[in-house]
């Protein structure tokens, strides 16, 4: 994998003003994606994963107040105009969604929809665009691509539709692909096939993928690095191996403890106590403080910035102590 950074999100903040209060949806989110990398963006529902991806695509609602920087190459997606964003979507950055049936138009064939996307961004005639569409369906391993192009979305299974959406996202050869929980609606066998396909495309096409999910098992089998989100902030970034071996942030530890383990029978499942903070109020101190078993007075009083520990980053005052304790345990066997 190359170290060249394709997408950089720096201190992203998204607010939604209302009559009685302002929703502080994203609160200083930062991460980066390198060429050929699969980055997992994980966290519970409502933590801001999909909103962050929408900001990266430049498709936030009109009433959103955005600050910070989202750099795609040399372009800042936050300050770019709508015409520039429209030209970037598809060619530089693309997205696949959770439910492909709602993302495709039921009144047009798959071939019509694929060729329309291709011709929107590339100077090709109908025949050349059709040939490219067929080649794309073949690339994502959809059987009989020429026949598939003549069918309508309802004539495909969920897994086949997701392959079509991936082909559509790749049609203009983007550098970054955002996959917003693309396997959630699929059964386990089809999930595995989509995961293998994304890994293959990252390897053969040099494609960078942001994989948004709450399923840690998918992250473990697919991603190179993981960014964990909580209350609109990234609280930990590490390689997949590091994160699963020794999570440093208490929220990450809680997420991993919440995963059911085979062989534990009727043992009660672990649950993180408490609830997420009210995002109608500005955060003061650590966002996780009300649910954390290791907090100290500093956690209530001071804003917590991301700190770098080795090759990983974490938003926690206690992180260095946690890592030192883990290293002592490993050294002592």
Query: In this structure, what token pair is assigned to residue 151?
Result: 């069918």
Q: What is the pLDDT of residues 90-113, one digit of tens each?
A: 888 999 887 777 888 999 999 999
SS in 3 state form for the chain? Answer: CCCCEEEEEEEEEEEEECCCCEEEEEEEEEEEEECCCEEEEECCCCCCHHHHHHHHHCCCCCCCEEEEEEEECCEECCCCCHHHHHHHECCCEEEECCCHHHHCCCCCCHHHHHHHHHHHHCCCCHHHHHHHHHHHHHHCCCCCHHHHCCCCHHHCCHHHHHHHHHHHHHCCCCCEEEEECCCCCCCHHHHHHHHHHHHHHHHHHCCEEEEEECCHHHHHHHCCEEEEEECCEEEEEEEHHHHHHCCCCHHHHHHHHCCCCCCCCCCCCCCCCCCCCCCCCCCCCCCCHHHCCCCCHHHHHCCCCCEEECCEEECCCCHHHHHHHHHHHHHCC
pLDDT in tens, 26-83: 999 999 999 889 999 998 888 889 999 999 999 999 899 999 999 998 889 998 888 8
Mean pLDDT on 236-247: 93
Q: How confident is the model at residue 217 (pLDDT cuts 50, 70, 90)?
A: confident
pLDDT band for 1, please (50, 70, 90 cuts).
Answer: very low
What distance in Å separates the CA atoms of residue 108 and residue 104, rounded to the nearest whole number?
Answer: 8
- Mean pLDDT of all residues in 124-148: 92
211 exposed, middle or buried (CB, 10 Å; 0-12, 13-18, 19+)?
buried
Stronger pLDDT, 201 or 331, i.e. the higher one: 201
CB within 8 A of 264, min separation 6: which ones? none
Residue 326 has pLDDT above 50, yes or no: yes
Comparing 153-162, 170-179, 198-207, 263-272, the range with the smallest average pLDDT is 263-272
pTM: 0.89
- How high is the pLDDT of residue 329? 60
pLDDT tens, position by position, 146-182:
999 999 999 998 889 989 998 998 888 889 999 988 8
**Sheet hosting strand 307-309, strand order edge to edge:** 93-96, 176-180, 208-213, 38-42, 225-230, 233-239, 312-314, 307-309
Identify the CATH number of the domain defined by range 5-92+174-331.
Answer: 3.40.50.300
**What percent of the chain shows pLDDT beyond 70?**
95
Distance from C-alpha of 82 to C-alpha of 240, rounded to nearest angstrom: 36
Residue 113 CA to residue 290 CA, distance in Å, equals 48
pLDDT at 228: 95
Does residue 304 register a pLDDT over 60? Answer: yes
Q: Is the pLDDT of residue 285 over 90?
A: no
What's the mean pLDDT when you consider all of the chain? Answer: 87
The residues facing 33 across adjacent strands are: 7
pLDDT in tens, 11-42: 999 999 988 889 899 999 999 999 889 999 99
Domain limits, the chain: 5-92+174-331, 111-170
- How large a percentage of the chain has pLDDT more than 90? 38
pLDDT of residue 275: 83
> Residue 8 above 80 pLDDT?
yes
Q: Which residues pair with 75 in a beta bridge?
A: 72
Residue 330 has pLDDT above 60, yes or no: no
Residue 280 confidence (pLDDT) above 60: yes
């Amino acid at each position: 994998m190359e170290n060249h950074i394709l997408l950089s999100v720096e201190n992203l903040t998204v607010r939604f003003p209302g009559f009685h209060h302002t929703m502080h949806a994203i609160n200083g989110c930062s991460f980066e994606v390198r060429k050929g990398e699969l980055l997992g963006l994980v966290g519970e529902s409502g933590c801001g994963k999909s909103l962050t991806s929408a900001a990266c695509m430049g498709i936030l609602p009109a009433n959103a107040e955005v600050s910070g920087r989202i750099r795609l190459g040399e372009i800042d997606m936050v300050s770019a105009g709508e015409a520039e964003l429209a030209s970037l979507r598809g060619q530089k950055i693309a997205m696949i969604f959770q439910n492909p049936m709602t993302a495709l138009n039921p009144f047009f064939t798959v071939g019509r929809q694929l060729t329309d996307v291709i011709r929107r961004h590339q100077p090709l005639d109908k025949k050349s665009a059709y040939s490219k569409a067929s080649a794309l369906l073949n690339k994502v391993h959809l059987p009989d691509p020429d026949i598939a192009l003549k069918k309508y979305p309802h004539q495909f299974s969920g897994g086949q539709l997701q392959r079509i959406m991936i082909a559509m996202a790749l049609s203009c050869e983007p550098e970054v692909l955002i996959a917003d929980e693309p396997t959630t609606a699929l059964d386990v066998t089809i999930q595995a096939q989509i995961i293998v396909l994304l890994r293959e495309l990252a390897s053969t096409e040099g494609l960078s993928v942001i994989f948004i999910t709450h399923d840690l098992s998918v992250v473990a089998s697919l991603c190179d690095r993981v960014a964990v989100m909580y209350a609109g902030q990234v609280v930990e970034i590490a390689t997949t191996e590091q994160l699963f071996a020794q999570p440093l942030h208490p929220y990450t530890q809680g997420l991993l403890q919440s995963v059911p383990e085979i062989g534990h029978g009727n043992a009660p499942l672990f649950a993180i106590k408490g609830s997420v903070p009210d995002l109608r109020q500005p955060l003061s101190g650590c966002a996780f403080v009300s649910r954390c078993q290791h907090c100290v007075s500093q956690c209530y009083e001071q804003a917590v910035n991301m700190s770098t520990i080795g090759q990983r980053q974490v938003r926690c005052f206690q992180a260095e102590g946690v890592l030192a304790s883990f290293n002592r345990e490993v050294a002592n066997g």
